[in-house]
Every structure is written in structure tokens, then in C-alpha cells.
Chain A
Amino acid sequence: MSANDVKLRSKSGSIAAYSALVYVVVIFFSILAIIPFWYMFMNATWDTFSIQTGIKLYPNFGNLIGQTKANWDYLANRSTFSFSTGFTNSLIITLSSTALTVYFSALTAYGLSVYDFKGRKTIFTIIVGVMMVPTAVNITGFYRLMNTLGLLGTRWPLILPAIAAPSTVFFIKQYLDTSLSKEIIEAARIDGCGEFRTFNSICLPIMIPALATQGIFSFLGSWNNFFAPSILLTKQELKTLPLMVGMLYGDRYTDYGAINIGLSASVLPIMIAYAFLQRYIIQGVAAGGVKE
């Protein structure tokens, strides 16, 4: 009896020790995930000299607002870095491309899911096939096409192709196959509702959960995109935020406070959005990995 008791106690004791170990490791990695950003934000409030002579993991309490503003002003006076221009461009490109991706992917997925037309299976197979093909490999051809169409030097090359997003189509179709009931469409038809109206006013609202998830990922992908914009957007007034941040590269003329505030400014909007949407994002990542 007592021997059993000891065994139980020691078992629960070892579980507690094990849990403690797990906590230490998990907390370590949680801190590792945010410490660079924390350091970046803190540096944004210090002057170059302080940053370069000590690791500042706390804000500049002495002159928090004054120094932060000085850093910001220094950065704003550089001709090459303009936060507002970058932010506006990023927002325009990202919002329009996300809207196009979500709407047209839903349309395509709906077409593939609801209508049993000839060649449907083949087209879907092709979409699944090209899902993994990276967009970057056709960059020389794409650039040349944009040149021919006269779209270079505009934002269109980064917006228009968003209409065709194979992986978004794939995921929305998977969702539709399991959650869209064909009776609703039948009922709408009997009531004399046109096909496009059925899609727009009846089925689109049903798809919202899937669209929201795909929208978030499309938004993040477009917002963080660097390769294509770095090649297609050469004009200063069209550059997106990641490209603006890219200009903080370089060693010679250094104001560390200003650089850090520039980096922080590019990180902060995403972090805020992430704080609100992290649950959906993580669910989306989980759903993407597990085959339905």
C-alpha cells in the first residue's frame, strides 16, 4: 500500500520536474522569438552612441519622446526612406491584390466545385499541379511582358496577377466541397436567382471563414513580398515598405537610432494586426498542413 503510494508520488513528482523542464525550454523559445523585436523597439528610443556602447533592453526613460522624435526626424530627412510613401504603396498594392485574390479565387473555386462541366477534373488537377511552381522562375519573361504592356513603372504588375492564385483556389475549393450544400443553390435557382447573383449574395457569405483565412495569408504574402517589387518597382515614389526598409542597408552613414526606428515602424503594423488575428492565422497554418 505504502509502496504504491510512494510510487505514485514519485511519478507525480517526476511529472512536475518534467513539466518544469518543458516550461523552461518553451519559455526560452518564446522569449527568443520576441527579444529581437523588443531590442529593435528599445533601440528606436536611444541615440547612436548609447546603442553602440551598451545593449539597451530598456527604453530611454530620460528622454523617451525627445530622442524617439529626433530619430524619426533624422530618418524622415533622408531622401531615400519615406515611411508614409512606403506604407501607402504597400497598403494600396496589398489591399487590392488581396481583394482580387479572395474574390476571384472564390469565384474559380465555386465554378470548379458546383458545376460539373467538361474538363473540370483536368483543370483542377492542373491547378493543384502548378500550386507549387514558384512565381519567381518566370521573372525575366514577366518583366518583358510588363514592359510590352507598358505596365512597368506602375503598381499593376503586382496587383493584376493576384487574380490567379492557384493555392487559394485549392483551399477554398476544399472548403466548398465539404461545407457548401447544393440544396441552397438548387433552391436559389428555383426562386429564379441568376447564377452570379447566387454566388455573390448567397454563397459568398457562406464562404467567409475560408475567405478570411486565405485573405489573411494573401495579405501577409503580399505585404512581405520583396523579390518581385525589388525588380518591378524602381521608381522611388512607388516603392513598398519592405523596399524602403531595404534602403536602411549599408554601413557608411549610420544613425543607429534612426535605422531602428525605421525597422520598428515597418514591424509594428504587422505586429498589431497579428495580435488581433493570431488565432485565425494559427488555425489557418494548421489547416494548411493537414490534408482534409
Chain B
Amino acid sequence: MARGTNNSARHNGMSYTKFGYLFIAPFVVVYALFSLYPLLTTFWYSGANLSNANSAFWGFGNKEAYYDRYLDLTALFSDDELAAHGIDAHAYNDLRNYFACQTRADQFKPTDVDGLTAIANNPDISEATRAKINQVIETGDISYISTDAAAWEELTTWSANYYDLSVDIIGKLTSINSTGVTLTTVEASDDESSEDAITTADIIAGDSYAGFLDTLQTGEFTEGQQVLMSYLATYAGADSLYDYFANMQDTDVATDTFYYVCSNLDAPNAIYDGEKIDAIAVPFIGDLNAYMTANVWNTSIPPYLTFDGYIDGSRNLHDGEEQVYSNLEKLYSMGIINSQVQLVEENGTLVPSSDGKVNVLANMRQFIDSQYQSDAVKAASKMQIAAMNNYLNDSANSARKSLISAGYTDIDSYISFNGEMDFDKYASFKSRIGLAGVLTMDKYNELDAAKKAKNAEKAQAKLDEKVSKYNDYLEQYNNEIARINGMTDDDIAVRYSGKFTRADLIRMAEESFSYNTVTAVDNLRNQVNHPSGIFGSVDASSKYILVGFTNFSSIFTDNHRFAVVAGAFVTTFVMWIIGFAPQIGLALLLSAWFTDTKLKLKGLSAMKALMYLPNVITAATIAIFFRRLFQYSTGSAASAAQLFLDAIGAPRYNFFDSAWATRLIVCFINFWMWYGNTMIVLIAGITSISESLYESAQLDGANSFQTYTKITMPLLRPILLYSFVTSMIGGLQMYDIPYNLNMNPALIKFNGQRIRSIQTVLMYINELAFGRAVVKQIGTASAVSVVLFIVTTALSIIIFYLMRDKDAAAAAKAKKLARKAGV
């Protein structure tokens, strides 16, 4: 019957079939534009060098404003050159100061409402000043305070006299963090250093290392220097510094001790006999810094991973306090916060001072051990006053001072304090200083062309020189080979401490020769043909070149990145499976009960509805609520979980300090939100099984358990598989819950690196492509997206085959066979 209808419809509807295209057209067009095209571009980005893509790429739509803000022409052109292009150097300097001011406002948020509210509620502050603060809150105009000297004086005086240990620590974390961010940013944006990355072997094999050893052996040192050297030798566990450096294996270079010793020799902060000790120049310290920055610093504890949350206030200092302490300890031993280490003389030997900024460690210990509690309002007031000071104070904000002395006393009215640049305010300032219409996109292009011409000329000169010196390099090479051949194997072993063989030395000479005559020449020729302009350091589009699978291979070759990417996949999978196991178990049990007719349960639909409820509620809300539920504190004020621990007599436990406790909370939320869903799906599956099967089983004398295992389970298998695969695909995209539960979670070791314990794949993609870092790593983010796409697609294909109508597939196959047989 149905078949007949179909046939007649097809017969009669011939002329209508074209409407089918019209009906599906909107879907196809929108899908192609908003899903397919972005997917393909994501594939394309994954193969492109976009490691430097930044706001320009991401839609800082106003390119002129973008370059005005981020491209510093003074670093590229002299004042005269700028004047030659019609740009007044003074006005341009004002523009730079304006953006420096804006950046400071963005960084310190001097009008942050939460902080200002704290000041307004601070009982130590006078009514009059608090009224002023309230005006700042209402209007967002900082000048109510900045122009009122008495009020400002009162605030700064109060702040200077109020001491709070946690504020002190957070202040120091902020400064350490900014050092770290500078280091890592420099590394990330410096293309040349990543081209020929320094290895530990390079440092030891370098000429400067050998020279340095000679100096240590034969050099003359002051008494102070000798004391420092012996302190450092003892620190490194060697008899003398020469012993220490001479017996160095290349792997030892990667240690914290090595860095500490070198940087203290190079730039000591030690005091001996009342005098500051002179440095012993460590010639490879530049290489060492580059190496540490590229490897150890980046991989062992990226500071922004550990300190960010405390600095922006999203994390309580007691939350993960021991982790912070051990990270500080590590930074200290690495010498990264070395500038804050003072060596002082005690009984003729140098010891690390217990004084000075090293106290950040001691303070942290005191903070933890004494379970220090801040007065929240006063602590927030102090921090907000510091933020205002950082923006308002002349010495902290020299850009603002220069602008005010240049006559722009109302500069604050041009600055936007809500964390986003205000284009209208910027435009009016630009026209006020007379650069509107002068410094345009055309001007930037003109400057770019000029720079390119100049750079091409320079490169050509260098190239000519290199080419003309070919014979010199050849001679050098021949001399070196002759020198090597002139030595016996024993000579070589002695001279190079057994580190290099004859073959090594010859290879090195050949490499050096070919670098000078081929590689360097090619590089210069490339620079002549493609000279760099002015946009290079800030503009992504100029670097938009296809790099094949580099982004993918970087995931596997970079130890740290591999750990983070693979770790994110493993974390996501682990958190999914730990939540899913009880979820499917409970759902099976409940569905068996709910469909058991012998039990005659009442009120089932209400209970089903209740159990499904968490699934419809916003996951972000739930995660934030659970964060509050488990939050850690030591005082009498505590979260529900801590109060519960108190009630049962257990000690307080910091759930967010433990990687696994945090993960388990995520798993529990997932389980709790989803078991109701799985249960309903399974109930539907069970009720769709024919009643007659159960009846005949009952007649055969089977009990409940037997019917369940012999009839229900086998017939439920496809639905179980469906639940499994859909849940896994959903689980791989976990984002809302871990993101809102803890943005700066405890770290966990993965493949030798420390990764965030609940960072999922999507969180990592988001951080790379849209995170707070100035340098956005779109290429890598896209590569990770593609990996995620491949994994989910593979799973989709599996489910597609599982869900396929078996009868239809068999029929299609039979038809195909029949056609093949020529029927």
C-alpha cells in the first residue's frame, strides 16, 4: 500500500521535484557558509604560520587604530625620518604616551568597581573621601579622585600604613608574573631565535665556553669574587668552580643549579666587605638565557599558569597555597627571581640574605603556617589604591606625567577605563594632537615601502660582501682542516676533554663553511627579494604563509606542547570516563527498576522528572555553584563542604589544591547532570522491547535477573552503544564545567611536564586562539581543532555504522549483487 502511494507520487510529482532544491536551499547555503567554510578555513589555518597572529588578524577592524596602538614607529625611524614623511615627532610621542597610558589603565583597572566599592565600604576612610569614591563609581571618571589632593593623600597614607600579608604576597607575585610574561613573550615573537634553537650541547661546545674555562683557571679575581666563587662552588657541590664547569655534561646545563651559578657570576647581588661584588662575565649567558627561556622556563613552570588567578583575584591565596610555595621555591632556585636574591657576608662566607625580597618565600610560608586571614574589605581597598596609584602616580606612569606636562591635563577623559579601547576617545585625542588625517593607513603603507627599500639595500650590501669573501672562507676552512689533521687523536682527546672526535671537528668545520657560503648567502638573497617592512612584528597577515604540517609536528616535537595537547586529550577523556562509568551503571539499575512491572512503583514520572532536572540547567551556573560549595578557607567563615568536614570532625581539605579532587568534582557534576538523561533513553529502550518476549520467558520460569541478562541486555546493546558514543563525543567537548569551576586549577604531572589538571581540549584551543596573551597562536589552535575534528569524525563514523538500518543495508547489498550478476 505504502509502496503504491510512493510510486504514484513519483509519477504525478515529476514536475514538482525541482521544488526540493528550493526547500533545502537555505539549509545548504547556511550550512556551507557558517559551518563548512569555517571548517575548511580552520584546516587552512592549521597549515599556516599564524603563530604571531594578533588582534589585527582577529578583527581589530580599524587597522589604522591598530597600528597606531601597537606599531611603535620610533623604534623603526629617527625623528628626522618621520619628519621627512610629514609626521611631527612631538605629536607622535604624545600618541605613544597616550597608548602607554591606555595600556596602564587596561592593566591596572584603576576604576574597578569591586575594588572601589571596597574603599567605599572601608571604615578607616573618611566620609568625604568615600563620597568621592562613590562619585568615581557612578561616573567612571577617575578625575574626582585625581584632582582632589586631600582625598588622594588620605588614601595613599592609609594604604602605606596598612599592612596585609596576602596583599604583600600578591604584589610580589604580580611582579614575578610580569617578568615571566616578558620573558616568554620575547621568546614567542622572536622568529630568528626559534629558527636555530640553542641546545645544551651548543652551549658547552661553543668557543665561549672553552674561553670561560680558561678564565676560571688562569684569571685573577678579587677577594670578593673568590668568596662568591667558592660560595657558588659549594652551592653546586663541587670543589671549585673550574671543576664544576669542566666536568659538565651537556645535560647538566639544563639544571636550575647551572643557571643559578651562571647568573650569579654574571650579575651578582652579593655584598662582601660592604662592597658589591664585581661580575665575572659569563660569555654564554646570552645563549643560556635563550635556552632557559625556550626550554626550562617555558616548560617547568610557566608563571602565568600558576600566578594569574591570584593576581586577578579569581583565586583565593589559600587555594593552592602549597603549590604556589613550591613554584616560588623553584623560581628562586632557578635564579629566575634572582634579582630578588641578596647574598650577604656572614663570618667570611656568603649566604643568601634572609632579608629583602627573598621574603616572598618566607612570607608565603608564614601565610600558610599561620593560616593568615585578611580583612577582605581592607585588603581589597589596599589593592585598589595600589592600582589607582599605578595609573595616577607620576613616577609609576611616566607617560601620564609627560602628557600632563605637555599640556594635556585632562588626559584621563580620553582614556577608557573599562578594559577596552574607546575609539571615539582615541579619535578625538588623535585629532587634538594633530595626527588625524596625517597618520593614516596610506602613510603606514608609504613608511612600509620606504623601510622595505632601505632594508633591501642593506641586505644587498651584506650579500655583496659575503659573496666577495668566498675565498677567505675557503682559506679558513682549509686552515682548520689542516689544523685538525695536524693533531693526533690523543691531542684531540686532551684538547677537547674527550667531548669531540676528529670526525666531529671536521663536520663542524664543514658546517661552518657551508653556513657562510651557502646558507647565509641564501638568507641574504631572500632578504633582498623579500625585505621586511614596518608591519612585521605586529602584523599577522604579513606572515600568512603555508608551512605544511609544522603546526602539527610542533605538537609532537615540542615536549611541553605535546604534554599540554596530549594531556588535554587525556584529561578530557579521563574526566569523561570517570563520570560516565557510574552514570551508565546507575542508569542501568534505575531503568531496570523503573520498568520492572512486579515492583509497581508509584510516582515514577515525578522522580524521572526530578532526576532529569540537572540536565536542563545551565552548566556554567552549576559549575560556579560547585566552586562555592567546595571553596577552601581556614577561618570560621567557610563553604558548605568545609562546614560539613567540620561537622563530622574531619580536618579541612582544600579540594582545589588537589588535581584529582578537582577532577573528581568535574566528574561528579558530569555524572549528576547526565545519568537522568541516560536513564530515560534506556527506559525507552527497554519499554520498546516486545512484551511477549518477557511473557514467554516468565512462562519458562526465568527470574527477573535472568530475563534482564538474557533478554533486556542483549536487545539493549545498540542503545547502550549509542549512549556510549554520543556521551564520548559530548565529553570530548567538555568546556563549561571545568572552565567555570576553576580557571587556574592545580597542576598535575603528565609526560614529565606540569599541566593543568582540568584543562580540556576546547579550553586549550580557546586559550591559544582567544586567550589573554598578546600573541595568539591561531595556527596551533587550528591544528588542535583539526585533531579534535578527526577524533570526533572517527567516532561519528562508528556511530553511523552502528545506527544504520541493518535491513536496509542488507537490501542495498542484495540489490548491488543482483545488478552485478546482470539481473
Chain A interfacial positions (CB closer than 8 Å to B):
15, 18-19, 22-23, 25-27, 29-30, 32-34, 36-37, 39-40, 48-49, 52-55, 77-80, 104-105, 107-108, 110-112, 114-118, 120, 123, 128-147, 150, 152, 160-161, 163-164, 166, 169, 182-183, 185-186, 189, 195, 199, 220, 223-224, 226-227, 230-231, 234, 236, 241-243, 245-246, 248-254, 256, 259-260, 263, 266-267, 270-271, 274, 278-279, 281-282, 285-291
Contact A285 B57 (CB under 8 A): no
Kindly identify, within residues 46 to 73 of chain B, every residue whose CB is under 8 Å from any CB belonging to chain A. 57-59, 61
Q: A15-B599, A195-B19, A281-B612 are in contact. Are A132 and B796 (CB under 8 A)?
A: yes
Contact B34 A160 (CB under 8 A): yes
Which chain A positions have C-beta within 8 A of B23? 107-108, 110-112, 114-115, 199
- Please measure, in the bound complex, the distance between the C-alpha atom of A160 and the C-alpha atom of B30, giving whole angstroms: 8
Contact A140 B42 (CB under 8 A): yes
8 A-B pairs, CB-CB below 8 angstroms?
A22-B599, A49-B637, A108-B27, A133-B796, A140-B765, A145-B41, A230-B766, A251-B316
Contact A107 B38 (CB under 8 A): no
Q: A33-B614, A246-B740 are in contact. Are A143 and B30 (CB under 8 A)?
A: no
Task: Give 7 new A-B contacts, CB below 8 A, not counting A141-B782, A144-B57.
Answer: A34-B613, A133-B793, A139-B785, A145-B33, A161-B35, A183-B5, A242-B620
Q: A147-B61, A288-B681 are in contact. Are A256 and B628 (CB under 8 A)?
A: yes
Q: Which residue of B lies closest to A254 (CB)?
A: B376
- Please measure, in the bound complex, the distance between the C-alpha atom of A277 and the C-alpha atom of B28, giving whole angstroms: 32
- Summarize B's interface: helix, strand, loop or mixed: helix
Contact A33 B611 (CB under 8 A): yes
- Please measure, in the bound complex, the distance between the C-alpha atom of A278 and the C-alpha atom of B37, giving whole angstroms: 37
Please give the distance in Å from A261's CB to the nearest CB on chain B: 12
Q: Which of B20, B606, B607, B769 has a CB less than 8 Å from the CB of A111?
A: B20
Whether B803 is near chain A, meaning CB under 8 Å from some CB there, is yes
Which chain B positions have C-beta within 8 A of A288? 681
Which chain B positions have C-beta within 8 A of A254? 376
Contact B616 A263 (CB under 8 A): no
Whether B83 is near chain A, meaning CB under 8 Å from some CB there, is no
Contact B672 A33 (CB under 8 A): yes
Kindly identify, within residues 764 to 796 of chain B, every residue whose CB is under 8 Å from any CB belonging to chain A. 765-766, 769-770, 778, 781-782, 785-786, 788-789, 792-793, 795-796
Please give the distance in Å from B330's CB to the nearest CB on chain A: 24
Residue picked from A141, A182, A256, most chain B C-beta under 10 Å:
A141
Q: A26-B601, A249-B624 are in contact. Are A287 and B613 (CB under 8 A)?
A: no
Contact B762 A163 (CB under 8 A): no
Which chain A positions have C-beta within 8 A of B43? 141
Contact B17 A117 (CB under 8 A): yes
Residue picked from A79, A137, A223, A260, most chain B C-beta under 10 Å:
A137
Contact A286 B681 (CB under 8 A): yes
Q: How many residues of B are in contact with the other chain, CB < 8 A?
A: 135
Q: A19-B601, A147-B61, A249-B743 are in contact. Are A115 and B618 (CB under 8 A)?
A: no
Contact B740 A249 (CB under 8 A): yes
Binds A, one of B207-215, B337-345, B682-690: B682-690
- Summarize A's interface: helix, strand, loop or mixed: helix
- Please measure, in the bound complex, the distance between the C-alpha atom of A143 and the C-alpha atom of B41, giving whole angstroms: 10
- Please measure, in the bound complex, the distance between the C-alpha atom of A236 and the C-alpha atom of B417, giving whole angstroms: 13
Chain B interfacial positions (CB closer than 8 Å to A):
5-6, 9-10, 12-13, 16-24, 26-28, 30-31, 33-35, 37-45, 57-59, 61, 113-115, 117-118, 312-316, 319, 376, 380, 418, 420, 586, 589-590, 593, 598-601, 605-614, 616-622, 624-629, 631, 636-640, 643-644, 672, 675-677, 680-685, 688, 718-719, 722-723, 726, 729, 732-733, 735-736, 739-740, 743, 762, 765-766, 769-770, 778, 781-782, 785-786, 788-789, 792-793, 795-797, 799-800, 803, 805
Contact B616 A270 (CB under 8 A): yes
Q: Which of A78, A120, A249, A278 has a CB less than 8 Å from the CB of B609?
A: A278
Contact B618 A245 (CB under 8 A): yes
- Please measure, in the bound complex, the distance between the C-alpha atom of A105 and the C-alpha atom of B640, giving whole angstroms: 46
- Please measure, in the bound complex, the distance between the C-alpha atom of A281 and the C-alpha atom of B680, giving whole angstroms: 10
Which chain B positions have C-beta within 8 A of A263? 621, 624-625
Contact B598 A140 (CB under 8 A): no
Q: Which residue of A lies closest to B113 (CB)?
A: A79
Please give the distance in Å from A239's CB to the nearest CB on chain B: 12
- Please measure, in the bound complex, the distance between the C-alpha atom of A251 and the C-alpha atom of B766, giving whole angstroms: 23
Q: A115-B20, A246-B740 are in contact. Are A137 and B616 (CB under 8 A)?
A: no
Contact B380 A253 (CB under 8 A): yes
Sorted nearest first, the 6 A-B pairs with minimum C-beta distance are A111-B23, A115-B20, A289-B681, A141-B38, A147-B59, A286-B684
Please give the distance in Å from A136's CB to the nearest CB on chain B: 5
Contact A137 B792 (CB under 8 A): yes
Contact B38 A253 (CB under 8 A): no
Residue picked from B12, B24, B418, B803, most chain A C-beta under 10 Å:
B24
Q: A115-B17, A251-B316 are in contact. Are A291 and B770 (CB under 8 A)?
A: no
Q: Which residue of A lies closest to B18 (CB)?
A: A117
Contact B631 A251 (CB under 8 A): yes
- Please measure, in the bound complex, the distance between the C-alpha atom of A52 and the C-alpha atom of B684, giving whole angstroms: 43
Which chain B positions have C-beta within 8 A of A140? 38, 41-42, 45, 765, 769, 778, 781-782, 785
Which chain B positions have C-beta within 8 A of A117? 17-18, 20-21
Contact B34 A55 (CB under 8 A): no
Which chain A positions have C-beta within 8 A of B609? 274, 278-279, 282
Contact B643 A252 (CB under 8 A): no
Contact A163 B625 (CB under 8 A): no
Contact A266 B618 (CB under 8 A): yes
Please give the distance in Å from A131's CB to the nearest CB on chain B: 7
Q: Which of B312, B676, B762 has a CB less than 8 Å from the CB of A136?
A: B762
Q: A33-B676, A286-B683 are in contact. Are A253 and B30 (CB under 8 A)?
A: no
Which chain A positions have C-beta within 8 A of B618? 223-224, 226, 241-242, 245, 266-267, 270
- Please measure, in the bound complex, the distance between the C-alpha atom of A80 and the C-alpha atom of B770, giving whole angstroms: 20
Contact A33 B38 (CB under 8 A): no
Which chain A positions have C-beta within 8 A of B17? 115-118
Which chain B positions have C-beta within 8 A of A138? 35, 38-39, 41-42, 785, 789
- Please measure, in the bound complex, the distance between the C-alpha atom of A160 and the C-alpha atom of B609, giving whole angstroms: 32
- Please measure, in the bound complex, the distance between the C-alpha atom of A19 and the C-alpha atom of B118, giving whole angstroms: 56
Contact B16 A189 (CB under 8 A): yes
- Please measure, in the bound complex, the distance between the C-alpha atom of A183 and the C-alpha atom of B5, giving whole angstroms: 8
Q: A78-B114, A132-B799 are in contact. Are A145 and B38 (CB under 8 A)?
A: yes
Q: A26-B590, A143-B770, A186-B12 are in contact. Are A116 and B20 (CB under 8 A)?
A: yes
Q: Which residue of B lies closest to A19 (CB)?
A: B599
- Please measure, in the bound complex, the distance between the C-alpha atom of A131 and the C-alpha atom of B731, giving whole angstroms: 16
Which chain B positions have C-beta within 8 A of A23? 601
- Please measure, in the bound complex, the distance between the C-alpha atom of A92 and the C-alpha atom of B743, giving whole angstroms: 29
Contact B611 A30 (CB under 8 A): yes
Which chain B positions have C-beta within 8 A of A26? 590, 593, 601, 607
Please give the distance in Å from B770's CB to the nearest CB on chain A: 5
